[in-house]
Amino acid sequence: MGKITLILGGARSGKSTCALNLAGKKKKVAFIATGQGLDREMRERILKHQQARPKNWKTFEEPKNLSALVSGMGDNFDCIIIDCLTLLVANLILAKNKEKAILEKFKVLLSQLSRKKAKVILVANEVGLGIVPVSKLGREFRDIAGRINQLAAKESAEVYFITAGIPLKIKG
């Protein structure tokens, strides 16, 4: 079975670049993007991310139903990158999923990923270092994203915390 690596950090900390570097010279890489280009600025960000990836990688754009996607992949890849779990949580909340349902969906996904032969790299924002959000929705998002990060870290063989582009290995 492959091993799971979690990369955590703040916004613009270098998480995605670290994920690309950890994928190294793998030939058959599946890149699962959870971001949605709902406005011009986000579409530009997505384009920059796409241009940074090697051309031979297979990109899947899936904002919510990662379990179905991962299930259908079989063992055709030697590395799977999911970027990012934080956007996945936001997408699920905005689709009216409740915390219990989101956590259950993520547990199923983690179980699927842990059985893959591929190296799995998960990218997520660390949400526990900031202020308490003023809105109920903001607090709900922060709480769920934090719980997802904890579940991912528990199942990961390696965890990196990225700050200013510098990876610090905190597990494994």
pLDDT of residue 1: 59
pTM: 0.94
DSSP strands (E only) in 4-153: 4-9, 29-33, 58-61, 79-83, 119-125
Residues 6+ apart with CB under 8 A from 96: none
pLDDT recorded at residue 45 = 86
Active-site position among 49, 58, 64, 147:
49
Radius of gyration of the chain (CA): 15
User: Is residue 163 classed as helix, strand or coil in its secondary structure?
Assistant: strand
112 is catalytic: no
**What is the pLDDT tens value at each position of the chain, 172 positions in all?**
569 999 999 988 999 999 999 998 888 999 999 988 888 998 898 888 888 888 899 999 999 999 999 999 989 999 999 999 999 999 999 999 999 999 999 999 999 999 999 999 999 999 989 889 999 999 999 999 999 999 999 999 999 999 999 999 999 9
Q: Please report, for the chain, the start and end positions of each structural domain, with discontinuous segments joined by +.
A: 4-171
For the 4-171 domain, the top CATH level (class) is alpha beta
